[in-house]
């Protein structure tokens, strides 16, 4: 793939972002301060349009067959339109979900993207059959919303998405998957062109326009790169997207425990908890970048480990995640079973 195409995508994003910022300001399409937002003044939104336009230009320049190009672009357009309308009019959650499911249907049925079966580690296979389509749609919608949920601080969603995309790109390079390499490369270029305007202090937000689009493409690339693989390898895309997936799961559990609607926004996400611990805005973002990079490193180690090594790695990772959950209070301030167990054990030793 020509480096020229990557440079063009990067340049388009860099040049378009300030223009879209002016348009958003002119029409007053901004994120205004409220109880669930961090910003203290209105910030223009719609920055995701620059990433999307850069991506579309790159896709037309790449040598990709029309049989996949058009389903991907049309499905992506539906997702971007859903986010754009939400940024302008603030859709209810159910309307956003309809747009996400529609985009997923388009790429699954027209683009022929699905997870058909997995090989079990101790022999045998699980064929999903008719369940492959709903499972793939659930995966796409879940990852799309996971990226959207972490879009709470300047540069957070763009940076975490870039780390995930770089990891997928590296995995695709190892596996020789040229199509995934090409798509991931142009999207990384567009996101990096936008990030300087979005990093703290942000001049523009990507909005749901960008967050839904990034989550959508990342979910598709993870399916393309890791479909029909072993059960252990199925963990790899989950590890790559560890930060948004875990934050989403904690949010669902937290809202179920407090008996709040699952779709209700709150200020107890990972970045909110780190801010409450005293980290600055930039420190919080960089720390979450580091956590995302750690997940990606685990993913690479995972692919090179033996079966039992992978099992041990999963166990270690789960313990680390549990400690992080309890320390930061991601589920609730009183949820500390593992830390309490350590405390009791330590007291017994002292006695």
Q: Among residues 269, 134, 162, which one has the least CA distance to residue 218?
A: 162
Write the DSSP symbol of residue 210: H
Q: Contacts by 286-295 with C-beta closer than 8 Å and gap 24+?
A: 288/150, 288/156, 288/159, 288/160, 288/243, 289/159, 289/160, 289/163, 291/242, 291/243, 292/159, 292/160, 292/163, 292/164, 292/242, 292/243, 293/163, 295/239, 295/240, 295/241, 295/242, 295/243
Burial 258-289 (b: 16+ CB within 10 A, else e): eeeeeeebeebbbbbbbbeeebebeebbeebb
Task: Compute the half-sphere exposure of residue 119: CA atoms within 13 Å on the CB side of its CA.
Answer: 10
Q: How far apart are CA 51 and CA 191, in angstroms?
A: 6
Give the chain's count of helices (H) and strands (E).
Answer: 14, 4
Q: Is the dihedral of CA 34, 249, 243, 167 positive or negative?
A: negative
* Ramachandran class of 46: left when φ > 0, alpha when ψ lies in -120 to 50, beta otherwise: left
208 marked among binding-site residues? yes
Q: How far apart are CA 82 and CA 103, in angstroms?
A: 9
Annotated binding site: 148, 208
Annotated binding site for Mg(2+): 148, 208
């Amino acid at each position: 793939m020509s480096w020229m195409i990557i440079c063009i995508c990067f340049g388009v994003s860099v040049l378009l972002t300030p223009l879209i910022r002016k348009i958003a300001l002119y029409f007053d399409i901004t994120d205004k301060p409220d109880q669930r937002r961090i910003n203290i003044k209105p910030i223009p939104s719609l920055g995701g349009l620059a990433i999307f336009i850069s991506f579309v230009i790159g896709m037309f320049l790449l040598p990709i067959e029309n049989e996949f190009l058009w389903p991907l672009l049309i499905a992506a357009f539906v997702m971007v339109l859903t986010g754009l309308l939400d940024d302008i009019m603030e859709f209810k959650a159910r309307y956003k979900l309809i747009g996400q499911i529609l985009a997923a249907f388009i790429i699954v049925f027209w683009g022929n993207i699905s997870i058909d079966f997995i090989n079990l580690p101790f022999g045998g296979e699980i064929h999903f059959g008719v369940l492959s389509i709903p499972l793939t749609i659930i995966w796409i919608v879940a990852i799309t919303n996971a990226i959207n949920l972490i879009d709470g601080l300047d540069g957070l969603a763009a940076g975490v998405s870039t780390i995930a995309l770089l990891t997928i790109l590296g995995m695709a390079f190892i596996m020789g998957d040229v199509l995934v390499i090409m798509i991931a490369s142009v999207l990384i270029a567009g996101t990096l062109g936008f990030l300087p305007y979005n990093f703290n202090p942000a001049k523009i937000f990507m909005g749901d326009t960008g967050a839904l689009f990034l989550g959508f493409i990342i979910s598709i690339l993870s399916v393309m790169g890791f479909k029909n693989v072993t059960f252990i390898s199925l963990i790899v895309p989950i590890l790559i997207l560890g930060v948004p997936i875990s934050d989403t799961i904690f949010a669902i559990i937290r809202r179920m425990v407090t008996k709040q609607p699952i779709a209700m926004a709150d200020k107890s996400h990972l970045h909110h908890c780190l801010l409450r611990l005293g980290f600055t805005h930039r420190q919080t973002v960089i720390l979450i970048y580091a956590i995302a990079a750690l997940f990606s490193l685990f993913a690479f180690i995972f692919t090179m480990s033996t079966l039992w090594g992978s099992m041990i790695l999963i166990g270690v990772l789960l313990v680390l995640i549990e400690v992080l959950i309890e320390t930061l209070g991601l589920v609730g301030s009183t949820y500390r079973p593992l830390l309490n167990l350590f405390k009791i054990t330590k007291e017994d030793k002292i006695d």
